[in-house]
Amino acid sequence: MSEETASEPLLFEVVEDHIALVRFNRPEARNAVNIETALALNAAVERVEADPAIRVAILTSATPGMFCAGADLKVIAAGRVQELRPNDAGFAGFVDAIKDKPWIAAVDGPALGGGTELCLACDMIVASETTRFGLPEVKRGLMANGGGNSRLSRVLPRNVALELIATGEAFTAEFAAGYGMVNRVVAAADLMETALGLARSIVANAPVAVTESLRVARQSLDRSDTDLRRLSRERNKVVLATEDSKEGPRAFAEKRSPVWQGR
C-alpha cells in the first residue's frame, strides 16, 4: 500500500475482470465509519452502478481480523450522526443505497452494530470462523437504526432474531450460517479467495439476467406472489431484449463459453 492510499478511509480497485474490491481502511479506528468513510462508500456504490464493466462488488477490510466497528463514536458525540447518512443512502452511505448489482460482504473478525448492518445490506456474506455478528445497541440504551432490526428478522427465523435483538448478544458465523444468513464460513486465510470465487461464479453469468433476477428475488418478502409473477414477466422482457439472451443459447448449441456483452 502506497503512502497516498494509506491515508484513505476506503480503498477501491477493480480486480480480475468485472469485480470491484471495496475495502475499509481505518485500522486506527477499527474501521469505524466517519464522515469521510460514508462519503467514500456512497461514491463507491455509485461507481459500481455506473460502470458497465463492473458486475459484482466485494465489501471487506484492508486489515485482517477487522471488518467495521460501526459508527465512529466521535462523530456521534459531536452530534453529527446525520452526516453518516449521505445522499439519503442510510448509514455509511450504503445500507439504503440503491444497488442493482450484487454485493458480497467478506468479513473477518468482529462485525457488530453497524458492521452487522453493512453485511445485511449486502446480498451475500462470506465470513471467517472468528467472525462475530450482533446488534448490541440495546446494551447502551440505543437502537440499531441502519436496517439491522428489520433485516435480521428476515434472514433468521423470527423468534431467533427477536431474541438476538432484545438481548443484544453476539453470535458466531457458524450460527449465522446454520440459519442461512451467511453463505460460506471459512478459515481467515481463505476468506478473500472464497469471496472472489463466489464473485467469479456470478461474473460467469449474463449480467443483465443476474441483475434482473435479483431485482425480483429481493422483493420476495415485500410483495404478493401475484405481484411477483407480474414483476418477473416485466423484467423478463428486459432480459429477452438483450443480445446476451441470444448469445447464451447460441454458445450452448456451439459448445463454447458465452461471451457476455452486458446488453
Catalytic residues: 117, 137
Q: Is 218 helix (H, G, I), strand (E, B) or coil?
A: coil
Grid-cell match 445500507, residue found: 95
Grid-cell match 481463505, residue found: 190
For the beta carbon of residue 244, count every other beta carbon within 10 angstroms.
Answer: 21
Grid-cell match 439476467, residue found: 209
Q: Is the dihedral of CA 37, 40, 46, 52 positive or negative?
A: negative
Q: Could you give the angle at the alpha carbon of 46 between the alpha carbons of 42 and 51, nearest 5°?
A: 150
In the chain, how many H helices and how many E strands?
11, 9
> Cell numbers of 138, please?
440495546
